[in-house]
Amino acid sequence: MLKITAYSSRISYRPGDEVDVKVSAVGMKSFSAVLKRIVQGDINPDGPGYREDAVPCDIGGPFTAREQKILTGSYGRVQTSAGFAVAGSVTVAALIWPTLPGVARQAIVSVGSESGLRLGLDEKGRATFEAVSGGRRVGHATTTAACRMKAWYAIIGTFRPETSELEIEQVPLQRFRGIEDSGCAKATISESIDVDWSEILFAAERGSDGAPASFYNGKIEAPFICSGQPGPDDVTDHLKGAKKLEAVIADWDFSHDIAHDTFADCGPHSLCGKLFNLPHRAVSGFAWDGSTYRWDERPEHYGAVHFHDDDLYDAMWENDFTFRLPEGLKSGVYAVHLTSDDEASEYYVVFGVKAAKNAKKSPVVFVMPTASYIAYANHRLGLDVSETEIGAGQLLQIDKHHSFLQENPQYGLSLYEVHSDGSGVFYSSRLRPVVDIQPKVQGFIGGLGSNIWQFNADTHILGFFEDRGLDYDVLTDEDLEADGVEALADYQVLVTGSHPEYTSTRMLDAYRDYSERGGRIMYLGGNGFYWRITYNSKLPGVIECRRSESGIRGWEPGTGNYYHQFTGELGGLWRRIGRAPQQVFGVGMTAQGFDLSSPYVKTDHAKDPRAAFIFEGVAGDVIGDFGLNGGAAAGNEIDRADFALGTPPNALIVASSRVHTDIYLMTPEDLLDPTPTWSGTQSDLIRSDMTFFETSTGGAVFSTGSIAWAASMAWNKYDNEVARITENVVRRFSNPAKF
C-alpha cells in the first residue's frame, strides 16, 4: 500500500516559481521532501539503469504527517441570501432519468441540512419525499412502484405545513401497457419542522458528518420550487416547458452556461448555483429530438445534467508546504520526492520546468504529453477490463501502485473507465494524486520487458538525451494549450513523447504552425494525435474527451452527446474531424497489440540521398530486432503512412515493420468489413512506417510510428542502431542549415 500520496496545483513551472504540494500520509508521524531531476525511470534490471539527481533546494521539513480524504460524487449547490424563507405549502419537482434506481438511497433535491425537505429515490428506486428535523427523518411519502432505468419521470413532492402532510407523485413521461411505474402517496409527519432554506442541493444531501452524501446517478433536468400545490399535470407541463406556472419560487435551467460549472435560476429570486466534481453537461435532455447534435445550437435540448456518485474533479486538499524553485534551474523534468520517516514509503510529484523567460533556449525541446498522462490517470485497465490480459498475450503484472488504486477507488477514474452506472468518463483531472505519473511505475500493456507506459516510458527518451549529452528543454502540453505556437519560438527541434495520443485544437495548431514556420519535428511514438480533447478556460487541470462515432474505445458518449461541453467542438478522432495526423507527422494510428514487437526493415527509400543522414553508421537492412518493449522497436501501438489521409507526397517511407502477431488488430476506423483478414499476419496495413519528409519552409519531419521505439533506444544502455538513428536525426535537425 502507498502510505504517501500527493499532488501539486500545476504541472508546468518556471525557475523561481513557487510550488505548492498537497500531501496525505498515513501510518507515520512525519515525512521528508527533496527536489529531484528525473532522468531515467525504468527499474528493469535489464534496462539502462534508474537515475534521479538530487537538486540543491531548501524545501524545509520534515513535515508533520496527516491524512487528507477525497470525496467523490458530483452535485449542485445553491446558497440563498440571509433570511430567505418560504411560507406555507411548497412543491418541489424535477425531471429525472435515473441510471441506477434501486441500488441505494439517492437524493434529487435537498432543501436544508439539519432540517428540511428531501426529494429523491429510496433504496428500491421509488420516488420519495421526506421531512427531516434535527438530522432525523420525521416522515416520508413513498410511491409503491419503482422507476425504470434510463426512463424519464416527473417527480413532484408537496409539503403542507398547515396539515403536516407530505405528498409524492411519480409520473412516467412515456407509458407502456402492462408496466406500472407511476404512483402517488401521502403521509403525515410525526412532528413539525422548521425548513432551513439557506442551502439547496441537487443530486446529494448533507450526511451526518456535514459532507454531501446519498449521491444520485442519472440525469436531472428543470428542477423547480413553487408555492402551493398545483396539479401534477400542470407541474409536468411546466417541467417539460409546455407552460409556465405562477407562484414560482425558483426555476433552475441547466441549459445556461453549459460550458462551465454554474447554472441559472430563471425565478424571481435569482438563486443561481454551482456544480461540483464535474457531472456531465452538454448531454441530451428530455426535449432532445435528434434535430440537432450541437448543444450550442439548441441548448434547450441539452438542459439535463448527468450526475455520478464517482465523479471527481478537485480533491481540494490543503497545502502541506510551498517552496520556490531555484532561479537558475535548468529546464527539465523534476519531482518532489516524498519519503516516510522510516523511508519505507515514497511518492513523486512530477512536473515540467520550462526555460526561464530570459534564458537562452536549448536547440531541442521535449514536449511532455501531459494530456495523455492525464487521460490515463489512475487507470485500472489490468483488473477492471477483462480483455486486457488477452490483448497483452501474457499474464499481467500488478505492481503496488495499481493494487493501491483497486483498494482506493476514491482516487478517481481515467478516460478509459466507465462510471458506476456504466456511462463513459468524459473528464480526467490532475487535481488529485495521479499514481501513474511517477518513475518506477510499471504498466499493464507496456510489452514484454520493462512493461512501462506513458510518463515512465518517456523517461527512456530523457535518458537518451542525457546519455548522448544533448542539450534540451522541456515544455508540457498545457504550455502549448496556453501559448500556442509561441511556446515553441526559438526551438530548432521538437521531440514528442512515446504516446502523445490526446491533443487539443490549440495544441495541434501549434504543431502545424511550428512545422510551417520551418521547425523540425521528431515524432518518436505511436498512436499520436488520435483523440481530440478540450480544456476549460475557467476550470484548470482537467481535460474532456468524447469518443464519438469511431476509434478504439471502451465506451461511447451516447447519441446526441458528441460535442464537448468545454468548447462546443465536435469530439472524436482527429482523422474523422478532417485533420488526420498524417497531414502534419506523416503517419497515423493503424493497429495495436501488446505482446511482441517487430523490427523495421529498410525500404528502397532508405537509399535515397535525402535520407542518407538518417542511417549514417547503421549497417544492414533490419533495424531494432531488440528492445525493452516486446523485444523489438515497432510495437504496442503503431502508425502507418497513408497518402490518401494526408501523408505529404514527398514523404520517404525509409523503413517499415513487416509482420506482427495476430494479437495486433486493425483500428475500427479502418475496419469497414469485419473479416478475419484484419490481423497482424494477414493485413499489410498493420505496419509501422518510419517516415521522413522536408517542408516547403526548410524544416523537416521524422516519425517512427511506434510506442516501442523509445524502449529500443534504451536497450543495451543506448548502444544500438535505434539510438544511433535517433541521434543522427537530432543532430541534423539541430543544424540550422535548411533542408
DSSP of 481-511: HHHGGGGGTT-SEEE--S---EEEHHHHHHH
What is the spatial distance between Cα 325 and Cα 697, in angstroms, rounded to a whole number?
38
286, 387: one domain: no
- Which grid coordinates belong to 563? 460535442
What CATH number is given to the structural domain containing 123? 2.60.120.200
62, 83: one domain: no
User: Comparing C-alpha atoms, which of 70, 79, 83, 81 is closest to residue 202?
Assistant: 79
CA dihedral angle for residue 380, residue 385, residue 387, residue 389, rounded to 10 degrees:
30
Taking only the tens place, the pLDDT of each residue in 488-517 is 999 999 999 999 999 999 999 999 999 999
Taking only the tens place, the pLDDT of each residue in 549-607 is 899 998 999 999 999 999 999 999 999 999 999 999 999 999 999 999 999 999 999 99
Q: Which residues 6+ apart lie within 8 Å of 649 measured at CB?
A: 643
Q: pTM for this one?
A: 0.96
Q: Are 354 and 473 in contact (CB under 8 A)?
A: yes
What is the spatial distance between Cα 155 and Cα 381, in angstroms, rounded to a whole number?
38
What CATH number is given to the structural domain containing 12? 2.60.40.10
What is the spatial distance between Cα 94 and Cα 284, in angstroms, rounded to a whole number?
16
Domain that holds residue 475: 368-734
Give the chain's residues under pLDDT 50. Answer: none
- Which grid coordinates belong to 2? 502507498
281, 321: one domain: no
First CA to last CA distance, the chain = 53
- Which grid coordinates belong to 180? 406500472
- Which grid coordinates belong to 32? 521528508
What pLDDT was estimated at residue 440? Answer: 96
Is residue 360, in this structure, part of any structural domain at all? Answer: no
Q: Using alpha carbons, list the distances in angstroms from residue 568 to 388, 536, 551, 575.
A: 33, 11, 20, 18
39, 93: one domain: no
Amino acid at 662: D
User: Comparing C-alpha atoms, which of 11, 15, 63 is closest to residue 318?
Assistant: 63
**Other Cβ atoms within 10 Å of 604 Cβ, number:** 9
36, 139: one domain: no
What pLDDT was estimated at residue 170? Answer: 97
Helix (H) or strand (E) holding 622: strand 622-623
What pLDDT was estimated at residue 145? Answer: 96
Q: Which residues pair with 336 in a beta bridge?
A: 35, 349
345, 206: one domain: no
86, 61: one domain: no
Is residue 115, in this structure, part of any structural domain at all? Answer: yes
Is residue 714, in this structure, part of any structural domain at all? Answer: yes
User: Comparing C-alpha atoms, which of 233, 221, 223 is closest to residue 300?
Assistant: 221
What pLDDT was estimated at residue 183? Answer: 95
User: Structural domain tally of the chain?
Assistant: 3
565, 440: one domain: yes
188, 239: one domain: yes
Is residue 410, in this structure, part of any structural domain at all? Answer: yes
393, 443: one domain: yes
38, 135: one domain: no
Tell whether the torsion through CA atoms of 565, 570, 573 and 579 is positive or negative: negative
Is residue 363, in this structure, part of any structural domain at all? Answer: no
What pLDDT was estimated at residue 400? Answer: 86
For residue 62, whether the previous peptide bond is cis, meaning omega lies within 30 degrees of 0, is yes
395, 320: one domain: no
Is residue 361, in this structure, part of any structural domain at all? Answer: no
**Other Cβ atoms within 10 Å of 208 Cβ, number:** 7
